[in-house]
Structures are given as C-alpha cells and as structure tokens.
Amino acid sequence: MNEILTQPSELKSRYDLTGRGPIVVDGATGYLGSHLVAALAASGADIRCLVHKGSKSEDVQVLKNLGAKVFVGELTGDDEQASSAFKDARCAVHLIGSIAPKKGLSHDHLHVDMTNSFIEKSKAGGVDSALMVTALGTRADAPSTYHATKWLAEESLRKSGLNSIILRPSLLIGRQVGRRNSKLVDRLLKVIAEKKAVPLVNGGVNKLQPLFIGDMAMAAIASIDKLTNAKGDASGSNNPIELGGTEILPMRDLVKQLMSVLHVEKPIVSLPYPIAMAAASICQLIQDVPVLSCDQVKLSMRDNVCTDNRIEELLGSKPVPLSTALQVYASK
C-alpha cells in the first residue's frame, strides 16, 4: 500500500486467498471490520460476515457490495445464524470490542464474554484457525479496564487450542471504504469543527504511533494467509504482534496535522486529568454512547508506542506515511 484508495474495486492485495475456504469475520460493520472485508475481497477470499441485529443497513450494505455473505445474529447465546456463520469455516476473525461501550454494556462483556463465545462457536463449527485484533498497550496490569479486559480476551484465545495470531495496533486512522472512523478521530473532527478551542487531556503530550487503516487491514490479510496456508503454521501465536505507523508523535501534533488538512486554525488547551475524568463520568452517565469515557482519559495519560513494530514484516513494504493517511479528511 502506498497511496490512499477510496474505491473498494481499486484495492489490490499481494495475497491470494482463493480456495482457502470460508473466512468468517465478526464485528464486520465496524471501522476495522469493513476495511478488512474489503481487503479480503481484494484477496479473493470467500467471506462470511457476522453482524448483530442492531447493525445499520448502510453499514451492512457496504459488506454486501464487497461480495460478502452476511449472517445477522448474536455471537453470545444459542443463535442459529451465528452458528451457521462459523460452520465449516477455514478461519475466524474476532474484532468485537469498544473503548467506550454503549450504556448497559461493559468491557467485560464485550471483550471477555464475546471472546469466549467466539472460541466456543469456532470450535463447534469446526474452525481451527483464529485471528484476533486487540490493542497496543494490552497487558495484565493495565490501568484501564479496556486494556485489562483485552488481556483476558487474549488469554482465553491463547488457552483455546486454536491455531491463532493476535495483532495489537496503535491508533488507526484514515478511511478507504464505508463511512466509519475510529471513535477518537470522530471526536476530534467534531471538536475541531464545533469548538473555539481543542481541549486535550494533559495537553496532549502522550505519544502515539498512528497506523493507516488500509495497512492494518493488509497486515491482517498477511496473518490470515499464514493461518490458512498449507503448513497451517502460526508460530508466535503466544506473542502478540505490535503494529504502528511510520511516525511517533504527541497527540497535540497529530491534532495540529489534522487541523492543517482541514484548513482550520484553533488553539489547543490543556484539560487537567481530574476535570477530564469528571467530564467523562458525566458522559458515561447520561449518553448512550459516551463521547468521552474514563478509559479514554486514562489512555490519554500514557504513550501508545510499539516496542517491536512488525508492520513492515507483514506488509512487505513501508506503511503509508501519516501525512498521506490524513488526506482523506482534507477539506474539499
């Protein structure tokens, strides 16, 4: 990948997954899900998408337009459509999760319970290979419940007996297909458009290593290729793979670059941690999907940078530069 592509038909892949058997993707209407399905389509894969019953029709239509077979059902519980999606699939991809769950949901349910159901349905369907995407910063003693429950999800997969690979990306940016962005980018775009100043927790000094969504999708394809090749060897499955972009920079610099492509100049103001946590607590209390969550505030106090970035190994080339990836947001 060396350029921004906006039409799914223009996507190209160096992998050929034709004849590998069905590949099922849960969380397929999400930001990463839609991009992964596009990359699978470019790789000639037989795609099955499991989408929940509340999915928006326009997001489901994106998957259908890409040639995927869509199964509408719930991953947890005894759901016939969900079970059918996994039946005799060659590989299953687990993407379900959220930094800011809807009211009534929890990280434990979204990450731990959903992963256990994913493993159960994979095994019941005869699936022997699995790819899971978590997040950079996932660890057992993480201060955020987001990362801590992602760790528990990883542990479940590691102990499942499935031939598996786990990917841990940094912040994902850009867009090639569909209408979705990451929650963080959506929030930043809204604040930049509507506010006189852009508030950042602790002044936005925390460092990030943003990765273009198209490169993330192709890294996943490389992993699926490894899981479904003739040898079926996914060595290193107990060692999650860290993925990041070409540039490490503070959050405030990322916001400045985003404002630049939007042709907007606004001041950045520092939001102290206690005030940010109070605001996030209110958002979680009164909003169905919180604009700002307590976990997002906690993550804003820490760097999110790879210690062993393996993106070039998976891509076979350098990832898209940050400046290029941000052009999708440019004002017309």
**Is residue 272 domain-resident?**
no
**Is residue 62 domain-resident?**
yes
**Is residue 258 domain-resident?**
no
The three-state DSSP-derived secondary structure of the chain is CCCCCCCHHHCCCCCCCCCCCEEEEECCCCHHHHHHHHHHHHCCCEEEEEECCCCCHHHHHHHHHCCCEEEECCCCCCCHHHHHHHCCCCEEEECCCCCCCCCCCCHHHHHHHHHHHHHHHHHHCCCCEEEEECCCCCCCCCCCHHHHHHHHHHHHHHCCCCEEEEEEECCEECCCCCCCCCHHHHHHHHHHHHCCCEEEEHHHCCEECCEEHHHHHHHHHHHHHHHHCCCCCCCCCCCCEEECCCCCEEHHHHHHHHHHHCCCCCCEEEECHHHHHHHHHHHHHHCCCCCCCHHHHHHCCCCECCCCECHHHHHCCCCCCHHHHHHHHCCC
- Give the other-Cβ count within 10 Å of 239's Cβ: 11
**Is residue 42 domain-resident?**
yes
Provide the residue range defining the domain that includes 230: 8-170+213-244+305-317
**Is residue 141 domain-resident?**
yes
Number of domains in the chain: 1
Whether the pTM exceeds 0.85: the reply is yes
**Is residue 35 domain-resident?**
yes
The per-residue pLDDT string of the chain (332 residues; one tens digit each, 9 = 90 and over) reads 334 444 556 788 999 999 999 999 999 999 999 999 999 999 999 999 999 988 999 999 999 999 999 999 999 988 899 999 999 999 999 999 988 888 888 999 999 999 999 999 999 999 999 999 999 999 999 999 999 999 999 999 999 999 999 999 999 999 988 888 888 898 899 999 999 999 999 999 999 999 999 999 999 999 999 999 866 555 445 689 999 999 999 999 999 999 999 999 999 999 999 999 999 899 888 888 888 888 889 988 999 999 999 999 999 999 999 999 999 898 64
Return the CATH number at 312. 3.40.50.720
pLDDT single digits (tens) 181-195: 888 898 899 999 999
CA 22 to chain centre: 21
**Is residue 263 domain-resident?**
no
**Is residue 251 domain-resident?**
no
